Amino acid sequence: MGILKFKSHLSKLPSLLFRNNNLHTSKTFLKFNLLSANYCSGNPLQLQDVHLSNASQTLKLHPTWLRDHCRCPDCYNAVTYQRKNDILKLNEHSTISAHSQSDGLLHVLWSDGHKSIYSIPWLISNTYEGRCRTQEEEANRLITWDGSMGNLPSLEPILYHNAMHDDNTLSEIYRRVIQYGFVQIEQVPSTEIDTKMIIERVCRMSRTVFGKFWETGTNFDHMDTGYLNGYLEGHTDNTYFTEAQGFLVFHCTHFNGKGGESFLVDGFHVAKQLKQLDPIAYDYLSKANITAEYIEPGEHFSSGGAILRHDPVSHQLEQIRFNMLDRAPLTSVPQSEVGTFYRHLRTLAMLVRQKENEYWFRLSPGTVMVIDNWRLLHGRNSYEGKRVLRGCYYSRSDFMSKARHYGIIL
């Protein structure tokens, strides 16, 4: 069996190594020693001293997985970034005749004469084991906060002009949203045209039942409490959609009245509190299904899921679905469990409503705010007078695609 000695620290590797080109490598962070050239057909190829956790591990690469991940022109279209392998023939081609390594590259000769060349760090980062490590590191880079925001660094304001003309500023917008859950863009002219310009500069607007670019405070176009002027408790939007919109954008372009202060709650911070206070409640709300709905003439949206949703591979928390106003009739919980359900839901709601977890501010003309709707809850005080709020949604897929483009996430 062939064994490669491998030492790496994935967090230090340039983001280029994690893209679709598997021939890039960096000698600065990698050291390989081929310990044995003997290989038994059908056995996994082993990489030793791979730093996937706190301790070195041996990573076994299955031959079928290796062949399926060959990126030569016969197996992969580098123009369209799509595979060309026939899935039904993979097992026939998955016997390794020989392998070697040099300069951080793994060379494999297959029994049918096919040759593959892999960047070893690319291989590791694209395994289940490597990706779990990466997702764990990404989760650890998130900075959660309470209402004081005392642990957040002092950040230079992001200005409208810079965001419109500088890609580095645009990248910083994505970094802040991913890391902190929100970002503010200042000095935006309070016109519909300029608001649309900065919105579309950041990402594509998503069309929903509310349209692409919406406005509240001037009419009651939709049967939603947000279009009224009463108090709004902390909530996430679109819990009634099969996939809630990932991000929302607010710009208060006009305000003449009293009240209307806004607040945010970091749902991931609240989830941490719940896990420490009542791990049984955390586990229950990670599994129990709760259905939400939105009804207006000609429409009836309905969707269910756990309030605390986790990534199925890394098991990291990736979404909080919390909206007490949009709850549908509770048909997903047996009557014998109803008491348990409400007890755990009240525990979470109690933490959400703790004043210490609420960050209060005023949305003012000139400030555009982008908010992670899968992480942050938002709310508002009641108000009197005229308050015009314009904005839109970004789909999770579109926004995260751009974040990967800027190298913020993998």
Query: For the chain, how long is the longest CA-to-CA vector?
Result: 80
What pLDDT does residue 153 have?
A: 86
What pLDDT does residue 42 have?
A: 61
Beta strands 3-7 and 45-51: pairing type?
Answer: parallel
Cα–Cα dist 392/390, whole Å: 7
What pLDDT does residue 101 have?
A: 84
What pLDDT does residue 129 have?
A: 86
DSSP annotation of 114? -
What pLDDT does residue 39 have?
A: 41
List the one residue out of 362, 373, 160, 366 whose CA is nearest residue 248.
Answer: 373
Inform me whether the pLDDT recorded for 179 exceeds 80.
Answer: yes
Coil vs helix vs strand at 185: strand
Q: Name the β-bridge partners of 57.
A: 50
What type of residue sits at position 321? Answer: R
What type of residue sits at position 262? Answer: S
Cα–Cα dist 329/289, whole Å: 12
Contact 117, 105 (CB under 8 A): yes
Task: Provide the pLDDT confidence category of residue 1 given band limits of 50, 70 and 90.
Answer: very low
Inform me whether the pLDDT recorded for 334 exceeds 70.
Answer: yes
Residues 339-391 have pLDDT tens digits of 999 999 999 999 999 999 999 999 999 999 999 999 999 999 998 999 899 99
Cα–Cα dist 233/225, whole Å: 11
Contact 108, 66 (CB under 8 A): yes
The whole-number average pLDDT for the span 51-79 is: 84
pTM: predicted TM-score of the whole model, two decimal places? 0.84
Task: Provide the pLDDT confidence category of residue 248 given band limits of 50, 70 and 90.
Answer: very high
**Number of other CB atoms surrounding residue 185 within 10 Å:** 25
Contact 95, 111 (CB under 8 A): yes
Task: Provide the pLDDT confidence category of residue 31 given band limits of 50, 70 and 90.
Answer: very low
The whole-number average pLDDT for the span 105-124 is: 92
If one compares 32 and 266, the residue with the highest pLDDT of the two is: 266
Inform me whether the pLDDT recorded for 29 exceeds 90.
Answer: no
Cα–Cα dist 282/308, whole Å: 8
Contact 196, 266 (CB under 8 A): no
The contacts of residue 28 (CB under 8 Å, 6+ apart) are none
- Tell me the percentage of the chain whose pLDDT exceeds 90: 66
Residue tagged 């990967």 (tokens): 404
Residues 198-246 have pLDDT tens digits of 999 999 999 999 999 998 866 657 667 766 778 999 999 999 999 999 9
**How many residues would you count in the chain?**
410
Contact 173, 183 (CB under 8 A): yes
Element (H, E) at 165: helix 160-165
State the Cα angle at 359 between 357 and 362, rounded to 5°: 155
